[in-house]
Structure 1
Amino acid sequence: MITIANISVGSSIFFTLALLIISVLVLLLLRRFLTLRATPAYLSIPVFLALALPASVVLLVPIDLASSSRDEGGPNAIWLPGRLLLVSWRIAYWLIFVLTWAILPLLGEYIDSGHRDTKARLQYSVRSNARYQMIVLGCATVGLIYISIQNGFEFSSIKALAMALAYVWGLVLAIYLMGHGLVSIPRTLFRNASASGRLRRLQSHAPLMHDRLMDAINDLETLEAQVSQLQSRKTGTARDFQDWIEELAETSTPPELRSGLLEPATSSGTVPAVVTERYLADLTRRLQRARHQKARFVDAWDRLIYTAADLQAVINSSASKKLEFGHHSQRSSFFPQWKMLTPYMRYQLYTNVYPNLRLVFGALFAVASICVVWSELIKSIAPRLSVVTISIVSYHKSPAPVGFGRQVVASMWLLYMCSAALVGVNDAKVWGNRALVRRNTYGESACWYASLVARLTVPIAYNFLTFLPKNVRESTTFYRFLGQWIDLTPLGKGFDYFFPVAILIPIGATLFNLYGRVKNICGFGLIEEDDDDLENNPSGYGIGGWREGRELIERELNGLGSLGLSTRNERSPRQSTHVDANTQAYSSSRTPLTDASRPSRSTRGAVASTSTVPEEDEEENFFQSFAHRVRNTIETASRPQWLQNDSFQLPRWMGNDGNNGNSGLSRWFGGRPVSGGVRL
């Protein structure tokens, strides 16, 4: 008894410290994507709980396994009393349930309302979620009638129906996203192992990212032009909302500091003759979305530019065996700086250590993904052949208690499955204009992502529990709290054993680029970026190729880009441009050009369509195609660097010239009406 008591005290201390560590990590995560001092408490506290509680679920499942399987002597593991576990599960589950289905959806629309007073915001939030909640309530009513006829109308039937509906919907979403993530995690590591291949992919994505940033700037300046027109109107109904209009004008960019990308005909927005509260709320809401959309693409464009410059420096360092990054690399999250390293040690680290580590971890995660998929497919037929089951449960003592080492393995499996589902959110981008931006995430997007994390964790945790033998699973507190109610309803009984086979669908779609093929056939995109565009156009010629992206990146790094400081008027100016001839490391100061350095997307599309018509009239053979490629290469080649400067420089084969460096359902589902966006 003394040993068991000591283990219980030690386990309680470990559990408390683990919860504190989880809280600190969640605060650091919030600090990365939100400005905590400027974020109101009614937003930061629900988002914090929606992230911390799912993380505690990953901790509770292994503890529950050890606590339910311990013998009289007590296992050598972290365990807690049954009553404490039951209370912990109740707190975590019902808080997650309320946050997911009530608080966070209402809070997200409250922040996105655009109204000034609290009452109007609440009314808008309730109206926006009414249809979504009515659909959920209708499904629940039909299910309740069926359950009442079968089991009788009791409170337990209502409770079982609510748990089953939430679980089934969460499992469908989790299996879909996890299938994408199980492929995306190892594939990304394998692809990023090659600096030249990663740089080429960044260059191929640069034209699309540039177009989206230009569109975001254009949309924001159009809305700010409407605010300027409202501000100049001193008569009529505009006088009743003068304070509101002045507030919008104060937060807008002054006309003299705008980029000038808008044409005069485009910049004149349509302002109604009668200004109403509804119009101003809609204008405020669109302004908020446009500002955060611009911030999103500015951040993404910055990271693309700086990461490309770092990769170019890594490639160019192969001649001198010395690697130095410029000051710009401090903004790159992919290349942490270690000042104690010498240039030679840094070169070895980025050319040998990091690529090999990515290959090792890529192979490890690929094996883990195969094991998870195999366990999902085999658990209903032969659970003892499941790799996940064998790594957690020992059958020598039918089965043996779960020890500390197997607890660690169980937490790692569960953490990997949750991470794969969250990575799948970025891999399957059908979520509209929602994104996580460093230190500048929109409040509605923060609520949506927090709700998604909370919605996925509990179904994944219970799905992980179904990998284990029946006697181990049914002895856990988690099963007695949640599993028995899921198995009570026809909706949940057996659903865990047959539906996870559908994980093969998103896996096949990701492996064989199904979304890209659908986009090419039907003419619309389900995802934002297609990593196989480079394989479809390896030469890089044409509109949106990697050669165009390379030119855009070089112009930005040399301070000649068309975006420049015009997209960052709210930021402090940077240092003057400095180019290192050995490493091509840049400290960017982007001055905007008065002329357009790159036509817009529609203009380029029109030019491409007219210029390619003559070429499509007749088919070229191999020799004609090869001759045209050679001619295009010669005609588009720029003067060498050593001919442009006054001083003579060594040729590339003798030095390290880095000019080339390239080797081989909307509101019906609770979402706002964004084109192509689905709110789940």
Structure 2
Amino acid sequence: MAVGPLVSEVCFTFVLAAVLLHRYGNFSQHPLLVTVSVFVAWYFSFTIIFILPLDVSTTAYRQCLYDALDSSPVTNSTVASNSSPPLHAVCVRPWSFVPEGVLQSLWRVVYWTSQALTWLILPLMQSYSTAGEFTVAGKLRRALIENAIYYGSYLLIFGVLLVYLALQPGMNLDAAKLKVVCVSASNTWGLFLLVLLLGHGLVEVPRSLWHRAQPGHALCHTYFRAAKLSLERAEAQERLDDLLQEIQQVSSSLSSAHLQHHMDVILAKLPEGSKVGGRQRINSEMDVLSGSAVTERSLVRLHQQVIRALQHYNRTNCQWRLLVEQALHLEDVARNAEAGERRLRSPTLLASWCGPTVEWYWLCRVRGHCLRALAVLLGLWSAAVVWSEMTFFIRSPMVSLFGLFHRAAERRHDYLAIEVMSIVTLGYLCVCAYYTVFRVRVLNYYYLAPHHLTDAYSLVFAGMLLCRLTPPLCLNFLGLLHLDTHVSSEAHRIETAYTEIMGHLDLIPIVARGFNLYFPTLICVLCLATWWHLGSRLLHCLGFEQFLTDDELTGDLVNEGRDLIKRERGRRQRAADQRRRPPRQPPADELGALTRSGSEESARTELLRGVEPLAGYTAPRATEHAFSSPPRGLFDDV
């Protein structure tokens, strides 16, 4: 059994998920249940993306065997077990061939586990991570209560759908049909969300790379983000300060040891400086709560508010540090590009590998052209995706570009090209979809920050999004290749193991009518709206400031951000100078036997002893009036 490539892919995705979770998560601070759930969600989602190309190439080989038989349709097992010399002489076996039944078992485990995670477990973990209870059982109970409305709404929709299907003539619902209904409902939700995300990402990803190649535009955009983030950071700090005042009130009125233990749990979550202030700085003018007013329920509420405020505070501070580093780097590159010296005055890590001169040429001369070339390449790739999305419902003649490429490679038995095209296209679709979620300002509450700075809530959201969008995204990709028999309606096509287990690109009957018309239309309309910044202008009119080059408010925010970065650079420069400056020691020849005493008065006395008396100066007598004339001759030497 040639399962070596499959095992290698599974191990690679395991390591990739572990490395990414280690980079973005924090094992020591996040709950164990949350960490395990997020890891499984990320691992299974990556498994679908990396294993699906093997399924596509294996299906191409089985299709070749089927066509070589030139007979009536046979089962997959018959095709896979046929090993006659003429067939194998015509059909070259791919290096990554997976035996029959292996992928079906893998997809069955991955798909249903992912569905359980995205619809049941991860929403519970998301509420669990922000629950204010002080025990595991209490957190789980709170998560169930908060998700009751969430689950109830889905059960209501599912019940209405079942009633609608039951009233259809000739419809007999059984376990198999209920399974198809559940899969179709999940695919329907995922596809409509996918339309919104891809319509924005397919245009914005290439355009963002093009703008990054322009240092002036990238720097102004960074200034704009700095001004907005500074306001959000101040609001997060103000919210945390308000909670600290409330904690000071509550902590000063606790009398029960049980409640004091809960308060210690809350104080342990605060930053180090805040904990000291919370225990020592008590405002005397505050109305101190009575001991009977503080209950366990009020501490639970306070604990939940602290958790959410700290998540907001830590996220904004993390974003601020990364944004300041980016702005300072862009300023250094812009300043060094205009200088005559062919080396950066503020070298980066790249200089230690290839030298400062090579680094200067890369950042100031080569990098911009590479980004523009990549932006053009991705723009063409996006155009191919949009064209294929608009035409993959056309069965004959086939005009989908990815379908044409797949059929040409299939005829040449070029399985490596099929796998490379599949993994590159799937990866690009994932980047475009997830870029929209984590870059749009309205959804900026979720943020993946490196260096172990991502909060548990954002990690769970990322895992839930991966599990929810990856299956319909892969089904959409198979539709682009015309490998979904429910889309292509080709009876002689061999079905992939993925569609055998995870279903087809089917929708619930309520929205299935006319889907092949409004689905590509929505993709095209959203791409055009993103190209003309219609969404950004609408958000700007609603009060969400967006980066618009022809807007006066944008210019004001850019100037404000420039001033903020300038002050941050000055602060860092002063701190660096202070660290480099050696400790100051008084010269021995000037101060003589002066020694620094323990008190300020003794040091002043020692200094006055070393001062020579002024010539011609006599101290005024104690009996003189305070407004008498000053001593004569005091300023004669001036």
TM band (smaller chain) = 0.7 to 0.9
Matches within 5 A, 1:324-343: 324=344, 326=346, 337-343=350-356
Structure 1 residues 267, 96: closer, same or farther in 2, change over 3 A? farther
Give the structure 1 partner of residue 560 of structure 2: 548
Q: In 1, are the aligned partners of 2:222 and 2:323 still within 8 Å (CA)?
A: yes
**Over alpha carbons, which structure has the higher Rg?**
2
Structure 1 residues 139, 510: closer, same or farther in 2, change over 3 A? same
The partner residue of 1:66 within 39, 57, 60 is 57
Matches within 5 A, 1:455-474: 455-469=468-482, 470=488, 471=490
Q: In 1, are the aligned partners of 2:253 and 2:290 still within 8 Å (CA)?
A: no
The one-letter amino acid paired with 1:249 is L
Counterparts of 2:538 and 2:550 in 1: how far apart (Å)?
16
Q: In 2, are the aligned partners of 1:181 and 1:423 still within 8 Å (CA)?
A: yes
Matches within 5 A, 1:349-428: 349-381=362-394, 384-394=398-408, 403-428=415-440
Structure 1 residues 61, 265: closer, same or farther in 2, change over 3 A? farther
| 1:264 Cα deviation from its structure 2 partner | 8.1
Structure 1 residues 50, 251: closer, same or farther in 2, change over 3 A? closer
Q: Does 2:200 match 1:200?
A: no
The one-letter amino acid paired with 1:90 is R
Counterparts of 1:440 and 1:416 in 2: how far apart (Å)?
26
Give the structure 1 partner of residue 129 of structure 2: 111
| 1:358 Cα deviation from its structure 2 partner | 0.4
| 1:132 Cα deviation from its structure 2 partner | 1.0
Q: Does 2:321 match 1:314?
A: no
The partner residue of 2:232 within 196, 199, 212 is 212
Q: In 2, are the aligned partners of 1:203 and 1:553 still within 8 Å (CA)?
A: yes
Structure 1 residues 281, 263: closer, same or farther in 2, change over 3 A? closer
| 1:558 Cα deviation from its structure 2 partner | 0.7
Q: In 2, are the aligned partners of 1:115 and 1:284 still within 8 Å (CA)?
A: yes
Q: In 2, are the aligned partners of 1:178 and 1:417 still within 8 Å (CA)?
A: yes
| 1:339 Cα deviation from its structure 2 partner | 0.2
Give the structure 2 partner of residue 153 of structure 1: 173
Structure 1 residues 424, 227: closer, same or farther in 2, change over 3 A? same
Structure 1 residues 387, 548: closer, same or farther in 2, change over 3 A? same
Please give the secondary structure, in 1, of the residue aligned with 2:408.
Answer: coil
| 1:492 Cα deviation from its structure 2 partner | 5.2
The one-letter amino acid paired with 1:537 is E
Please give the secondary structure, in 2, of the residue aligned with 1:82.
Answer: coil
Q: Deviations over 1:586-606 (max 9, x none)?
A: xxxxxxxxxxxxxxxxxxxxx
The partner residue of 1:531 within 547, 560, 567 is 547
Q: Does 2:312 match 1:293?
A: yes
Task: Give the TM-score taking structure 1 as reference length.
Answer: 0.73
Counterparts of 2:101 and 2:207 in 1: how far apart (Å)?
43
Q: Deviations over 1:490-528 (max 9, x none)?
A: 65577466424312343233222223322343x333xxx
| 1:206 Cα deviation from its structure 2 partner | 1.8
| 1:348 Cα deviation from its structure 2 partner | 0.3
Structure 1 residues 272, 170: closer, same or farther in 2, change over 3 A? farther
Structure 1 residues 166, 575: closer, same or farther in 2, change over 3 A? farther
Counterparts of 2:431 and 2:370 in 1: how far apart (Å)?
19
Q: Percent identity?
A: 23
Ranges in structure 2 where 5+ consecutive residues have no aligned partner: 66-86, 483-487, 582-638
| 1:300 Cα deviation from its structure 2 partner | 1.3
Counterparts of 1:520 and 1:265 in 2: how far apart (Å)?
45
Task: Give the TM-score taking structure 2 as reference length.
Answer: 0.78
Question: After the TM superposition, which parts of structure 1 deviate over 6 Å for at least 4 consecutive aligned residues?
Answer: 256-259, 262-273
Q: In 2, are the aligned partners of 1:160 and 1:485 still within 8 Å (CA)?
A: no
Give the structure 2 partner of residue 96 of structure 1: 114
Give the structure 2 partner of residue 664 of structure 1: none
Q: In 1, are the aligned partners of 2:342 and 2:357 still within 8 Å (CA)?
A: yes
Give the structure 2 partner of residue 55 of structure 1: 46
Structure 1 residues 338, 76: closer, same or farther in 2, change over 3 A? farther
Q: Deviations over 1:376-420 (max 9, x none)?
A: 1111235622111122222995xx656221221122111111111
Give the structure 1 partner of residue 26 of structure 2: 35
Normalized per residue, the structure richer in helix is 2
Q: Does 2:453 match 1:440?
A: yes
Matches within 5 A, 1:180-191: 180-191=200-211
Please give the secondary structure, in 2, of the residue aligned with 1:152.
Answer: coil
Greater Cα shift, 408-417 or 250-259: 250-259
The partner residue of 1:513 within 506, 515, 533 is 533
Q: Does 2:250 match 1:223?
A: no
Counterparts of 1:419 and 1:475 in 2: how far apart (Å)?
27
Counterparts of 2:285 and 2:529 in 1: how far apart (Å)?
41
Please give the secondary structure, in 1, of the residue aligned with 2:379.
Answer: helix
Structure 1 residues 524, 268: closer, same or farther in 2, change over 3 A? farther
Q: Deviations over 1:83-135 (max 9, x none)?
A: 11111111111011000000100111112111011222111111111111111
Structure 1 residues 268, 33: closer, same or farther in 2, change over 3 A? farther
Ranges in structure 1 where 5+ consecutive residues have no aligned partner: 1-7, 330-335, 565-572, 580-680
Counterparts of 2:274 and 2:409 in 1: how far apart (Å)?
73
The one-letter amino acid paired with 2:565 is I
Give the structure 2 partner of residue 669 of structure 1: none
The one-letter amino acid paired with 1:444 is Y
Counterparts of 1:273 and 1:222 in 2: how far apart (Å)?
22
Give the structure 2 partner of residue 24 of structure 1: 15
Greater Cα shift, 297-306 or 58-67: 58-67
Give the structure 1 partner of residue 297 of structure 2: 278
Counterparts of 1:243 and 1:206 in 2: how far apart (Å)?
40
Q: In 1, are the aligned partners of 2:318 and 2:453 still within 8 Å (CA)?
A: no
Q: RMSD of the alignment, in Å?
A: 3.2
Give the structure 2 partner of residue 475 of structure 1: 495
